[in-house]
């Protein structure tokens, strides 16, 4: 067991343990052995069991807002439900983040993996609650019984079944997406529950197998290439441009972790049959590795990195911000992630770099007439994108203020500074 713990992160172990239950669910649904209500119960009970196993008694921090949100959806008017849901859920999540930081820094406690799993799942729960609340507010979903009669008069308005409370609880806690995975809207979740076809599920299982294979490959590659225990030591002791390689290699190790876990999360969803009605694999994935590693646009990297979360932030913040939507989106992302100093600095730097990226590439498209110049610009901006995103990733991941200052006062800070200088220079060039 100890060797498995060294090879796989505990979250991955819990996800792998849930695969047999997901495959069984897919099999029973394909052959019509589970009525709709039993499907909700299966997913809900599985989520409760998985939460208790992975989080222990900290699971109460997840169950409390789940029950509160369910009551809220069925008692508050659709006119204001999205505001109340957002306020209450973010307040609860912020309190949990501050509680963890208080224990970590004031009492100097070593935070257990169960706490981290709980906080991560709570962040995913915030996505689901706010997404469903916006659907209710926009009249895409009806929950209150008094709205059912009215909704029948409106063509195309989605109706919840009679077991709406069970459906909401199942959506918020269904086990294939409890510990990770792309964000499904409630309408998509309902579609997966109600429309279960054998040929779609066979395709889902095959896709899950491919994702699992790629997960093992990436996890193995990271284990071979990197010794994660030496990263902080190298960053503290590197000299001059050596720090650039240390930063890039450390960020690559982090990215391999994210890629492999995103693939495993998606594989678990697919193994449970959650893919029907999806037009293509890329529409249902957070791990478009090819685009992330080949793009020369920081803005494209931001839109593709954890794609479902990026789409959620766009819908929740960017499209509803009257002033400075880009800055507001990244500021909220820092709040949602936990408000560590590195996260605040990292996301604010990311917002500035995305803004600079838009303006710089607009100027480059004007002055780059020759195909050779355009190719050179693409190579240079790709390299710059790699280094800036590595800088941002390390700032976000290194929550320790000492490590953040070490990063800022190294040669690595020249990469974002270069983009700022280039932005000022480009603004002086007239088209």
- Is residue 140 helix, strand or coil? coil
Q: Which of 82, 261, 337, 361 is catalytic?
A: 337
Q: What are the DSSP calls for 264-301, one per residue? A: HHHHHHHHTTTTTT-S-GGGG-S--HHHHHH---HHHH
Catalytic residue at 9? no
What's the distance, CA 180 to chain centroid?
8
Sequence-distant (6+) residues with CB within 8 A of 381 are 296, 297, 360, 361, 364
Place of tokens 């195309």: 156
How far from 340 is each of 330, 348, 363, 395, CA to CA, in Å? 14, 12, 35, 10
Catalytic residue at 306? yes
At how many degrees (to 10) do helices 60-73 and 36-55 cross? 150
Q: Which two tokens stand for residue 288?
A: 């478009």
- Is residue 321 helix, strand or coil? coil
- Is residue 142 helix, strand or coil? strand
At how many degrees (to 10) do helices 164-173 and 113-137 cross? 140
Closest CA to 401 of 331, 350, 343: 343
- For 17-74, what is the HEC assignment? HHHHHHHHHHHHHHCCCCCHHHHHHHHHHHHHHHHHHHHHHHHHHHHHHHHHHHHHHC
How far is it, in rounded angstroms, from Cα 263 to Cα 16? 12
Residue pair 154/139 in contact (Cβ under 8 Å)? The answer is yes
Beta-bridge mates of residue 159 = 142
Q: What are the DSSP calls for 376-426, one per residue? A: HHHHHHHHHHHHHHHHHHHHHH---HHHHHHHHTSGGGHHHHHHHHHHHHH
Q: Which of 306, 320, 361, 412 is catalytic?
A: 306
Active-site positions? 306, 337
């Amino acid at each position: 067991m100890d060797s498995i713990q060294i090879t796989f992160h505990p979250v991955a172990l819990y996800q792998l343990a849930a695969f047999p239950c997901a495959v069984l669910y897919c099999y029973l649904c394909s052959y019509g052995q589970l009525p709709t209500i039993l499907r909700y119960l299966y997913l809900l009970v599985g989520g409760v069991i998985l939460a208790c196993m992975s989080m222990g008694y900290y699971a109460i921090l997840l169950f409390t807002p789940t029950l509160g949100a369910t009551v809220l959806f069925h008692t508050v008017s659709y006119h204001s439900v999205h505001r109340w849901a957002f306020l209450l859920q973010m307040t609860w999540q912020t309190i949990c983040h501050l509680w963890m930081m208080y224990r970590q820094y004031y009492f100097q406690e070593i935070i257990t993996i169960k706490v981290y799993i709980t906080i991560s799942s709570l962040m995913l729960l915030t996505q689901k609650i706010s997404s469903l609340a916006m659907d209710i507010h926009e009249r895409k979903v009806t929950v209150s019984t008094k709205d059912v009669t009215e909704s029948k008069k409106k063509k195309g308005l989605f109706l919840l079944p009679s077991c709406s409370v069970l459906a909401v609880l199942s959506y918020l806690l269904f086990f294939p997406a409890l510990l990770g995975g792309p964000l499904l809207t409630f309408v998509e979740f309902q579609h997966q529950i109600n429309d279960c076809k054998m040929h779609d599920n066979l395709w889902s299982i095959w896709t899950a197998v491919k994702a699992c294979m790629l997960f093992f490959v990436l996890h193995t590659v990271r284990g071979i290439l990197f010794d994660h225990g030496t990263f902080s030591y190298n960053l503290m002791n590197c000299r001059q441009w050596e720090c650039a390689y240390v930063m890039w290699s450390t960020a690559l190790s982090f990215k391999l972790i994210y890629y492999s876990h995103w693939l495993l999360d998606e594989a678990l969803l697919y193994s449970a049959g959650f893919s029907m009605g999806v037009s293509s694999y890329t529409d249902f994935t957070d791990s478009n590795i090819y685009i992330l590693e080949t793009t020369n646009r920081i803005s494209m990297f931001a839109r593709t990195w954890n794609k479902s979360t990026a789409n959620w932030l766009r819908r929740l913040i960017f499209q509803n911000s009257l002033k400075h939507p880009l800055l507001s989106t990244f500021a909220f992302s820092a709040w949602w992630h936990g408000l560590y100093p590195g996260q605040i600095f990292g996301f604010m730097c990311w917002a500035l770099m995305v803004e600079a990226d838009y303006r710089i590439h607009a100027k480059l498209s004007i002055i780059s007439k020759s195909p050779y110049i355009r190719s050179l610009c693409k190579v240079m901006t790709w390299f710059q994108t790699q280094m800036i995103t590595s800088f941002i990733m390390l700032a976000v991941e290194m929550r320790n203020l000492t490590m953040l200052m070490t990063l800022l006062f190294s040669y690595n800070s020249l990469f974002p500074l270069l983009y700022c200088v280039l932005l000022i220079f480009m603004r002086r060039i007239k088209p």
